[in-house]
Amino acid sequence: MKSKTRKRIKYTDEPMNQVEVIADFLPSPEQLAFKEETVKITIALSKSSLDFFKEKAERHHTPYQKMIRRLVDEYVARQKHLSA
């Protein structure tokens, strides 16, 4: 078995080049915790479409309903952007 050699980082007290402070671009915890209101519906999908989502959801360890919801949400967001 080959041993892996890692390049070591050398830390110094040398001054850094000019640094630019940028505005905080990360969302706040409140924005991350925001959960949009959902409405339960009944929808008929083709068996092949449902099988596709179930297979992909299982592979990614997520509910297939969430994948379908995100797909519809993304479609709506893009359509709103196009019509603006």
Task: Give the rounded distance of the alpha carbon of 56 from its chain centre.
Answer: 16
What pLDDT is recorded for position 2?
61
Full-prediction pTM beyond 0.75? Answer: no
H or E element that contains 25 = none
Query: How many residues are present in the chain?
Result: 84
What are the sequence ranges of the domains in the chain?
Answer: 47-84
Q: Give the pLDDT band of residue 5 (cuts 50, 70, 90).
A: confident
